[in-house]
Amino acid sequence: MKTALVIGAGPAGLMAADVMSAAGMRVIVADAKPSVARKFLMAGKSGLNLTKDEPFDQFLSAYEEAVPALEPMLRAFGPKDIVAWAETLGQEMFTGTSGRVFPRVMKASPLLRAWLTRLAEQGVEIRTRWRWTGCQDGFVFETPEGRQVLDPDVTVLACGGASWSRLGSDGVWADLLKDATTPFLPANMGFEVDWSTHMVKHFGAPVKGVSLSAGEQCVRGEFVVSERGVEGGGIYAVSRRLREGADLTVDLLPDLGEQVIRQRLSKPRGKASLANHLRKVLKLDPVKQALLMEFAKPLPDDLAPILKALPVRLSGPRPIDEAISTAGGVRFDALTDGLMLAETLGVFAAGEMLDWEAPTGGYLLTACIATGRWAGQHAVRYVADEAK
């Protein structure tokens, strides 16, 4: 029986193990942490968003410059396939109003338990607290039992990116693959703001029903004012453009045009304060008013333009370890079309350790699972070809 090694027990690694064990290979999965799929489980705490239900070309465009490399994998195992796969693991799925697709139970743990059961039935061995440290006559690991060396017929690396190191994605493996990698960058992250003291009482407040613009990108969403700055879905959606140097502007009233805003503001105010007037005629809540005072003081006579494009001054991204995901990693030009390292025969790479990025909303997990499946399939073919 041919042997396969998977390094990393996140969704990409588990999918590669699933494919290879189903093909009759003996598979060992090694992970540095005491338990598997820790980041996957964390992602499911607020509802496991597995994929996105939208026209495929629109879905694909979220991966930007990585589209040429990822398209074959996502066409082979895209959003509809992800849903069907989850259902084979006993998970009833549903699509939310935004098109995001979740298990009915919302959690990741039932799906993971069913998946691990299937892998065990297929003979997959999972070894935790096994940290890959390099290659010397095989793949070398630090383990509770001391140094261990494995020399499999084929290997799939699924080591994750460089964020959330406490969950296992620390990016340390990049030192072992220097010639094939590009530096990591934070993705889907918050940004720091040097708040004045009047913003303190608004820390933790959500800013809802706004439109955020960065460069040519404009998204409708919401975000949270935190002690450190701004974070949340709306910020993550434009984080790449902000990371690349674009300025952030926020439309506080995306459903109203400038002329309508002027008309409403022109209504008699009487003895009401400006804050009460803004609340009454524009329904501008306290946190939006606070942002207006933070970034538009002194207030202009004509408030309409600034309400439609409030410049938010950022001090830079939050640290990479706090990012939801990362860009950078193994370059596609260092891989074959089957995700094998061009300079290392029989070693494949998959998941977030590859140099691609995408927004939150199901794109991240879909691509991790699809690339894990692709790498596993091509690893099976490689072993079969070597046996001929």
Q: What beta strand segments (E) does 67-187 contain?
A: 93-95, 100-103, 125-128, 131-135, 139-143, 146-150, 154-157, 181-187
8 to 48, 158, 168, 206: CA distances (angstroms): 20, 5, 9, 36
**In this structure, are 69 and 172 located in the same domain?**
yes
CA 88/CA 70 separation, integer angstroms: 24
Which tens digit of pLDDT belongs to each residue from 179-230?
A: 999 999 999 999 999 999 999 999 999 999 999 999 999 999 999 999 999 9
Residues 161 and 74 in one domain: yes
- Mapping DSSP to helix (H, G, I), strand (E, B) and coil, where does residue 336 land? coil
The distance in angstroms from the start CA to the end CA of the chain is: 15
pLDDT of amino acid 386: 86
Query: Mean pLDDT score of the chain, rounded to an integer?
Result: 96
> Per residue in 242-258, pLDDT tens?
999 999 999 999 999 99
Q: Are residues 9 and 58 in the same domain?
A: yes
354-367 mean pLDDT = 96
Choose one of 317, 342, 367: the last residue of a domain.
Answer: 317
Range list of H helices, the chain: 11-22, 38-43, 56-61, 67-76, 79-88, 109-121, 233-237, 239-243, 258-265, 274-282, 286-295, 304-308, 363-387
Q: How far apart are CA 51 and CA 43, in angstroms?
A: 13
- Per residue in 32-59, pLDDT tens? 999 999 999 998 888 899 999 999 999 9
- 293 and 361 in a single domain? The answer is no
Residue 73 has pLDDT above 90, yes or no: yes
pLDDT confidence of residue 108: 95
pLDDT digits (tens, 9 = 90+) for 92-138: 999 998 999 999 999 999 999 999 999 999 999 999 999 999 999 99
pLDDT of 46? 80
Mean pLDDT of 67-75: 98
Q: Are residues 171 and 63 in the same domain?
A: yes
Which whole number is the average pLDDT over 264-284? 93
Range of the domain at 339: 3-186+323-387
Higher pLDDT, 1 or 10: 10
179 and 230 in a common domain: no
- Is 7 found in the same domain as 156? yes
Total count of domains within the chain:
2
Closest CA to 375 of 37, 80, 117, 6: 6
Domain limit, last residue, from 263, 287, 317: 317
Does pTM top 0.85 for this prediction? yes
Residue 192 is inside which H or E element, if any? strand 191-192
In this structure, the answer to whether residues 214 and 138 fall within a common structural domain is no
Same domain, 29 and 53: yes
Distance CA 358, CA 331 (A): 16
Q: Compute the chain's Rg from CA coordinates.
A: 24
Distance in angstroms (rounded) separating the CA atoms of residues 320 and 36: 22
| 172 in the same domain as 278 | no
Q: Is the dihedral of CA 88, 91, 97, 100 positive or negative?
A: negative
CATH of the domain at 139: 3.50.50.60
Whether residue 86 is found in the same domain as residue 109: yes
Residues 171 and 84 in one domain: yes
The last residue of one of the domains, among 272, 297, 317, is 317
pLDDT above 90 (res 74)? yes
Averaged pLDDT for residues 329-350: 97
- Strand 206-214 with 217-225, pairing: antiparallel
Q: Which of the two residues, 43 and 91, has the higher pLDDT score?
A: 91
| Confidence label for 387 from pLDDT (cuts 50, 70 and 90) | confident
